Amino acid sequence: RTVEEVERTRQFGKEVVDLLRHQPHFRMPFSKFIPTYHHHFGRQCKLSYYGFTKLMELFEAIPDVLLVLECGEERVLALTEVEHVKALAAQLRDSGLPVSQLLSEYSKTFGYSLRLQDYDAATLPGLLNKLCHVVKVIDAPEGKEVQLINRKSLRALTSQLLALMMSLPEDRDHLGVEELRKQYELTYAAPLNPCEYGFISLTELLKSLPYLLQVRATDTSGAPVCLSEDELDDGGAEERVRLTRLYRFARGVRALLHTYHYNQIFLKYTGREFQPQTYGYKTLEELLAAIPQVPLTCTLASVRFGALAPVPRDER
């Protein structure tokens, strides 16, 4: 398949999630997908547009978001566990609801019951524990209540992640997801808890920053692959994180500043020697590492170099 078809398939996965979020229990019969898709999006689902000839093949290409279940003689489309929990989390908008009323209020609001077994939970507290990135249970005067958590802003975190990725050794352009977590905690002496930012996992948090980071599952050779959650859990692949193309360019241009004689350039154009101690750092390298998110420009002879590294925007 072409690169365009692969990208269209990825976008199709997002459409499937959106479609199933509008269905009771986030699932629907396989046989009803085509007419429901047409009605929901106002266009036909053309398999050739994604490089396939069979609908089942298209579904098998998005295992990270979709499951095809065999229920007797009928096949049913359902969201994966991660997407299922995310869909439920998006439905929880009210704060201060008594735990004892949660199931009944859910049924009244959405017109169908909240089935614990759909989330592999035996009890309501067990389900709420899976939603710890969205809600918390507190002791109120009249009993336990469900409250929405106050999520941290991503602004400071994105700057920290950018600084961390910018400071990788020259011969590396990626980190494994867990490797990134460990590096973050070592660098900033603080845990990186995705629940504090409203995400169920670190991978989901990193994927929410597509303008800054790329997250891809790769095989042992480093080639990108598309795997289901179970296949990732089996250890057959690794999820890797790297900067987007724009920020990789910025990282490369920053590296040029280390190559040229910055002290001589600074002296020529300012008339004084460059003293990193003035800014509280011992060396130029330490100073540049402290401001990876700020555009840097230097002039060498008649050539002007610019590192395009704008401050990441907070999209939350």
Task: Decide if 313 is inside a domain.
Answer: no
pLDDT in tens, 254-304: 776 665 566 677 777 778 777 878 878 877 767 766 665 554 544 444 444
* In the predicted structure, residue 181 carries a pLDDT above the cut 90: yes
Same domain, 241 and 271: no
Domain boundary among 246, 266, 296: 246
Domain boundary among 133, 148, 163: 148
pLDDT at 259: 58
Do 29 and 77 touch, CB atoms closer than 8 A? yes
Q: Report the mean per-residue pLDDT for the chain.
A: 82
Task: Decide if 87 is inside a domain.
Answer: no
Q: What is the mean pLDDT of residues 17-30?
A: 95
Same domain, 71 and 119: no
Instruction: Please give the structure tokens belonging to residue 8.
Output: 């269209």
Same domain, 261 and 227: no
Same domain, 206 and 263: no
Task: Decide if 284 is inside a domain.
Answer: yes
pLDDT at 310: 42
List the domain range (segments joined by +) for residue 172: 155-246
CATH of the domain at 57: 3.30.420.610
Task: Decide if 198 is inside a domain.
Answer: yes
Same domain, 102 and 135: yes
pLDDT in tens, 82-107: 899 889 988 887 777 888 889 999 99
* In the predicted structure, residue 77 carries a pLDDT above the cut 70: yes
> Measured in Å, how far apart are the chain's first and last C-alpha atoms?
34
Same domain, 180 and 163: yes
Alpha-carbon 168 to chain mean position: 20
Task: Decide if 295 is inside a domain.
Answer: yes
Distances in Å between the Cα of 98 and the Cα atoms of 102, 255, 299 are: 7, 56, 63
Same domain, 102 and 139: yes
* In the predicted structure, residue 109 carries a pLDDT above the cut 80: yes
Task: Decide if 312 is inside a domain.
Answer: no
Domain count, the chain: 4
pLDDT at 69: 92
Q: Which of 65-69, 125-129, 200-204, 247-251 has the highest mean pLDDT?
A: 65-69
Calpha distance 239→222 (Å, rounded): 10
* In the predicted structure, residue 138 carries a pLDDT above the cut 90: no
Same domain, 159 and 240: yes
Same domain, 263 and 241: no
Domain boundary among 132, 148, 164: 148
Same domain, 105 and 66: no
pLDDT at 233: 52
Task: Decide if 110 is inside a domain.
Answer: yes
pLDDT at 50: 94
Residue 17 three-state SS? helix
Sequence-separated (6 or more) residues with CB below 8 Å from residue 238? 176, 217, 218
Same domain, 171 and 193: yes
Same domain, 20 and 69: yes
**Among 33-42, 59-68, 170-179, 268-277, whose mean pLDDT is lowest?**
268-277
Task: Decide if 257 is inside a domain.
Answer: yes
pLDDT at 148: 85
